[in-house]
Structure 1
Amino acid sequence: MGVFADRLGFVGTDAGPAAHFGNPVGEQRALAAGRAVVELGLGVVTVTGPDRLSWLNSITSQLLTGLTPGTSTETLVLDASGRVEHAARVVDDGATTWLLTEADDAAPLAAWLTSMRFMLRVEVADRSGDFVTLGGFGTAVPADAVVEWADPWSSVTPGGWGYAALEAHPASDWTLRVAVVTPDAAAEVAASDVPVAGLLALEALRIAAWRPALSDVDERTIPHELDWLRSAVHLSKGCYRGQETVAKVHNLGRPPRRLVMLHLDGSDGVLPVPGTPVLDGDKEVGRLSAAALHHELGPVGLAVVKRSLDPTATLRLVVDDVVVTAAQETIVPTDAGATADVPRLPRLGAVRRS
């Protein structure tokens, strides 16, 4: 059960945290304004030992060697073909590297990391049951956190690359902070008068910020398709599993699929659920990965569609015989990476070793 279960209007989720407290749109406004806090229910994996950062650097997509205490970043675990298997929010406190992931991914991530230890001086632990994760965009987030992670999504991180070519990216307002707190500290927050929001409110803001998450990933996803090079991939670091695909697709451009935001017709009051096929006429061109009612934009969603789909096409989603039309807003363009100013990355066999 979530830590805010005693709050008026609490409606929980299977994972425990509140989906909403009876007013998802109002909660969303308070959350966006920095007045409310949301229980995230994230999994917590810790890595300790003197080799932890160099080891994680060698097996994931982000440059982690030399990560200074308190600096927040993000990294991906890819398979040999460059497909996303795990995603983790990363912060190091000088003795421990904290990896925050989705609740159902914590145990698989910890198990995979443990299998990759070999003879290195690292220890991996799934400590999801020991902590509570609270998020927000303002001072409502508790200051006495064991560790705090600040989402780097608001700008392209060093070594990253943003495919969305906009003067004003919607991510500029995405300043999410995540506090990892003890259950006792979480109980103190719950007993206070701080306004609270549910996960539905956060999901709407995430969609509007074009912020990718593991919920947008399927068995074929590569980082380029979700514009995830922006925050979770360092393009000039050394080798890691899946690096050859990252370099090849970035060098040649045009990932096979691309993320779009959908502006959904809300006339019938129907909101499609994730997994709903996205149709161009009668042809399936992708699938919806997220949908929510945004307090300003109305019904919106994220979908991964075929790269070749006409960006101006009006799309259709069918929900219980109700047809919901959708206009696209381009996130990853059809020619992603295929411009003259894209840096050419080394192929796997060409990486210089010192």
Structure 2
Amino acid sequence: MTESPFLALPGAVASAAEGVDAGVAGHYGNPIVEQRHLERGDAIVDLSNRGVVTVAGPDRLSWLHSMASQALARLQPGEGTEALLLDASGRVEHAAHVIDDGETTWLIVEGDEAVAVAAFLDRMRFMLRVEVADASGDVAVLGAMSSSALDAATPAYAPAGVALDWVDPWAHPRPGGHQYAHDAGHPASEWHWIERIVPRTALAEAAAAVRAGSVDAAGSMAAEALRVAAWRPRLATEVDDRTIPHELDWLRSAVDLGKGCYKGQETVAKVLNLGRPPRRLVLLHLDGSDTVLPAPGDEVVGEKARPEPAAGEAPERKVVGRITTAVMHHELGPVALAVVKRAVPADLPLIVLSHGTEVAAAQVEIVPADAGAAVEVPRLPRLGVHKG
């Protein structure tokens, strides 16, 4: 793909080449100010490094429904949803932001996922009337917290008469899903995220609108900061080769518990109804006195409660998790999402080991430590006990 025209805007600083947002601007000179503009609905974000996979044909929705964690068979034109593709053990392999226009289903995925998702779907076609294509070279994605900001940059794209604006369902729990996080104080209600699919040629028009002052531009750092504050998981950052949806509270937006017969469904149901998520997502408030922002993968450690250390000895520490995303938020300061072991107490002080420095961290539960089974299993009487 050619370089995004947003990288030619004044002040544009490209994201790290090896990072998840390589290929777009990390910021345009002041990521904190850009967060405020984005949050107010006055700015757009270049997401042209994302991939777009299309599925056409009369069998497309029922076919995707049979493989995905989300109910898609009756998806209405213009309605946005989110779906996961899991392996046989229920681990997350792919995630897609899904919108259908009545003729084609559009899947927005991470940029390095487009080829793999298209190849996987193509292998699963068999005799059904579906056509799969990687459309990333023809279309691109812009993000914003308001449709008015997107409209100021470029018109909505509607090749079949339905605007391809994906509205993130994270803001409110979907019917058929399940939320582990407590409702009180959940920040998702402030997350009004929209992703607009546009012809790739429209990126120049959108960049020109920024130059003309019609709309502001915010970099990927601003978008990530607001995402973290909303506790919103992302495939490229929060997912590893062991992740199941429960650990990230992803049943909230990407899983319909009323459907079955998809790969990984048994694990989804068993963990929800009979078990506990083996790990859990938390938000960490970080000590900013050392001006150290952790990197993805940095270890999170906690002090062992037992045995008690001898006099003069430092408490024994144990690795309890890892950082997935760390940001500087315009109101919260330095914060991070991290995946920690289920048994880590909610009030345990934590330390992040980063760049040779110890960064103190206090956790806010997203998936609670006591998140348990959604179904009470009846106790059976012990053998040999007779109740008259």
Which TM-score tier does this pair reach, normalised by the shorter chain? over 0.9
- 1:88 has 2:96 as partner: yes
- Mapped to 2, the partners of 1:286 and 1:239 lie a distance apart of 32
| Secondary structure at the counterpart of residue 141 of structure 1 | helix
Give matches, 1:112-151, under 5 Å.
112-138=120-146, 139-142=148-151, 143-146=155-158, 147-151=164-168
- Displacement of 1:167: 2.4
- Aligned match for 1:219, one of 235, 241, 264: 241
Report what 1:59 is aligned to: 67
Report what 2:385 is aligned to: none
Contact kept in structure 1, 2:272 and 2:374, CA below 8 Å: no
Report what 2:307 is aligned to: none
- Displacement of 1:339: 5.0
- Displacement of 1:314: 1.0
| Secondary structure at the counterpart of residue 7 of structure 2 | coil
| Secondary structure at the counterpart of residue 150 of structure 2 | coil
- Displacement of 1:6: 2.1
| Secondary structure at the counterpart of residue 186 of structure 1 | helix
Give identity over the alignment, percent: 58
Give matches, 1:158-197, under 5 Å.
158-192=175-209, 193=213, 194-197=215-218
Higher mean displacement: 226-235 or 166-175: 166-175
Contact kept in structure 2, 1:62 and 1:74, CA below 8 Å: yes
Higher mean displacement: 181-190 or 127-136: 181-190
Contact kept in structure 1, 2:274 and 2:374, CA below 8 Å: no
- 1:249 has 2:271 as partner: yes
- Displacement of 1:341: 8.4
Contact kept in structure 1, 2:299 and 2:354, CA below 8 Å: no
- Mapped to 2, the partners of 1:74 and 1:149 lie a distance apart of 10
Contact kept in structure 1, 2:300 and 2:322, CA below 8 Å: yes
Contact kept in structure 2, 1:286 and 1:303, CA below 8 Å: yes
TM-score normalised to structure 1 length: 0.94
Does the C-alpha gap of structure 1 residues 47 and 197 become closer, same or farther in structure 2, counting only changes over 3 Å?
A: same
Contact kept in structure 2, 1:253 and 1:335, CA below 8 Å: no
Give matches, 1:38-77, under 5 Å.
38-40=45-47, 41-77=49-85
- Aligned match for 1:105, one of 109, 113, 121: 113
Could you say what the CA RMSD is over the residues aligned between the two structures, in angstroms? Answer: 1.3
- Mapped to 1, the partners of 2:177 and 2:376 lie a distance apart of 14
| Secondary structure at the counterpart of residue 4 of structure 2 | coil
- Aligned match for 2:174, one of 152, 157, 180: 157
Contact kept in structure 1, 2:69 and 2:254, CA below 8 Å: yes
Higher mean displacement: 5-14 or 153-162: 5-14
- Mapped to 1, the partners of 2:54 and 2:269 lie a distance apart of 29
- Mapped to 2, the partners of 1:166 and 1:109 lie a distance apart of 34
- Mapped to 1, the partners of 2:157 and 2:244 lie a distance apart of 33
- 1:299 has 2:327 as partner: no
- Mapped to 2, the partners of 1:70 and 1:120 lie a distance apart of 24
Report what 2:161 is aligned to: none
- Mapped to 1, the partners of 2:375 and 2:131 lie a distance apart of 44
- Mapped to 2, the partners of 1:283 and 1:35 lie a distance apart of 44
- Mapped to 2, the partners of 1:230 and 1:168 lie a distance apart of 16
Does the C-alpha gap of structure 1 residues 168 and 317 become closer, same or farther in structure 2, counting only changes over 3 Å?
A: closer
- Aligned match for 2:7, one of 5, 8, 15: 5
Higher mean displacement: 159-168 or 76-85: 159-168
| Secondary structure at the counterpart of residue 107 of structure 1 | helix
- Mapped to 2, the partners of 1:149 and 1:341 lie a distance apart of 37
TM-score normalised to structure 2 length: 0.86
| Secondary structure at the counterpart of residue 120 of structure 2 | helix
- Mapped to 2, the partners of 1:3 and 1:156 lie a distance apart of 36
Report what 1:21 is aligned to: 28
- Displacement of 1:52: 0.4
Q: What is the letter of the counterpart of residue 204 of structure 1?
A: A
- Mapped to 2, the partners of 1:180 and 1:79 lie a distance apart of 28
- Displacement of 1:43: 0.5
Cα deviation code 1:257-303 (max 9, x no counterpart): 00000001110100000010111132100110000000000000001
- Displacement of 1:184: 2.8
Cα deviation code 1:199-257 (max 9, x no counterpart): 00000100000001102000000000000000000001121000000000000131100
Cα deviation code 1:13-61 (max 9, x no counterpart): 3331111111010101100110000011210000001110000000010
- Mapped to 1, the partners of 2:278 and 2:200 lie a distance apart of 44
Cα deviation code 1:155-192 (max 9, x no counterpart): 11111111101223100011100111112322111111
Q: Which runs of 5+ in 1 are unaligned?
A: 343-354
Report what 1:346 is aligned to: none
Q: What is the letter of the counterpart of residue 81 of structure 1?
A: S
Give matches, 1:196-345, under 5 Å.
196-214=217-235, 215-281=237-303, 282-339=317-374
- Mapped to 2, the partners of 1:158 and 1:276 lie a distance apart of 36
- Displacement of 1:145: 2.5
Report what 1:33 is aligned to: 40
Contact kept in structure 2, 1:163 and 1:336, CA below 8 Å: yes
Contact kept in structure 1, 2:83 and 2:255, CA below 8 Å: yes
Q: Which runs of 5+ in 2 are unaligned?
A: 159-163, 304-316, 378-388
